[in-house]
């Protein structure tokens, strides 16, 4: 039994060492505070003025769309990774399934034309129309809309890997953070910060290996 456990641990360790794909994934976390909320019902209706806001999602640096007209690049969001929560409560995800014409993207602007920034939308050639949430409004699904613009040139390129870091109010010229129902701002939020972080090799690999080795030690002691 100990031999099988050790073999499994070694196999897991070899997989852990051969997991370069993790280097391609990045997590974006957006933080803010609810300013007002006119939504009644559903999870979005439970958000109160003053509640903290946290949106997070994962991007693959290899999955993107470049604009042919503007210096913008849209990184396709993993829809299953998206979560939006208020006051540390339950989170809401994206509308599922998403429409092929409404693919959620995190769009980077570099010198566009003289500013850098980020926004959520479905079109690299369009404006920040946000991403559809898993709660219907009056006009269609509610949309989480986000935009920040900086004039201190924080970006060197459209490469997400070069955009890691913490973004706050330094150099910030404007922001938009709302939940929209059609043309109306149903909820307003005040932007606080945004971080872009490279995801390390999943901790689950380490936990699995440690667990297998611990099990082997336990069986040896118990024998």
Compute the average pLDDT of residues 161-167. Answer: 96
Domain that holds residue 101: 20-200
Alpha carbons 31 and 40: distance in angstroms, whole number: 23
Is there a domain that residue 211 lies in?
no
**What percentage of the chain carries pLDDT values higher than 90?**
72
Is there a domain that residue 214 lies in?
no
**Residue 98: which pLDDT band, with cuts at 50, 70 and 90?**
confident
Is there a domain that residue 212 lies in?
no
33 pairs with which residues across the strands? 52, 190
**Residue 114: which pLDDT band, with cuts at 50, 70 and 90?**
confident
φ and ψ of 19, to 5 deg: -115, 60
Q: Which pLDDT belongs to residue 22?
A: 58
Least confident of 7-16, 117-126, 153-162: 7-16
Is the bond preceding residue 97 a cis peptide, omega within 30 degrees?
yes
Domains held by the chain: number: 1
Is there a domain that residue 12 lies in?
no
Is there a domain that residue 158 lies in?
yes
Alpha-carbon torsion (76, 199, 175, 70), positive or negative: negative
Structure-block tokens of residue 163 = 């955009």
Q: Write out pLDDT tens, residues 48-59.
A: 999 999 999 999
Is there a domain that residue 70 lies in?
yes
Is there a domain that residue 208 lies in?
no
Is there a domain that residue 219 lies in?
no
Compute the average pLDDT of residues 115-127. Answer: 93
Q: Write out pLDDT tens, residues 190-208.
A: 999 999 999 986 644 444 4
Structure-block tokens of residue 223 = 């024998």
Compute the average pLDDT of residues 159-164. Answer: 96
């Amino acid at each position: 039994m100990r031999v099988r456990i050790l073999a499994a641990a070694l196999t897991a360790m070899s997989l852990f060492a051969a997991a370069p794909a993790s280097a391609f994934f990045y997590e974006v976390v957006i933080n803010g505070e609810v300013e007002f909320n006119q939504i009644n019902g559903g999870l979005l209706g439970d958000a109160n003025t003053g509640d903290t806001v946290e949106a997070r999602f994962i991007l693959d640096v290899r999955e993107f769309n470049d604009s042919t007209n503007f210096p913008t690049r849209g990184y396709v969001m993993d829809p299953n990774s998206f979560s939006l929560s208020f006051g540390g409560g339950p989170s809401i995800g994206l509308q599922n399934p998403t429409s092929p014409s409404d693919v959620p993207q995190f769009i980077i602007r570099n010198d566009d034309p003289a500013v850098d920034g980020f926004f959520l939308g479905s079109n690299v050639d369009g404006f920040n129309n946000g991403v559809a949430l898993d709660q219907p409004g009056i006009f269609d699904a509610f949309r989480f809309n986000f935009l920040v613009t900086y004039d201190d040139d924080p970006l060197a390129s459209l490469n997400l890997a070069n955009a890691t870091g913490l973004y706050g109010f330094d150099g910030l010229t404007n922001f938009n953070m709302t939940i929209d129902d059609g043309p109306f701002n149903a909820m307003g939020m005040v932007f606080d910060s945004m971080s872009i972080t490279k995801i390390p090799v999943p901790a689950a690999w380490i936990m699995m290996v440690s667990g297998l080795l611990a099990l082997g030690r336990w069986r040896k002691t118990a024998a």
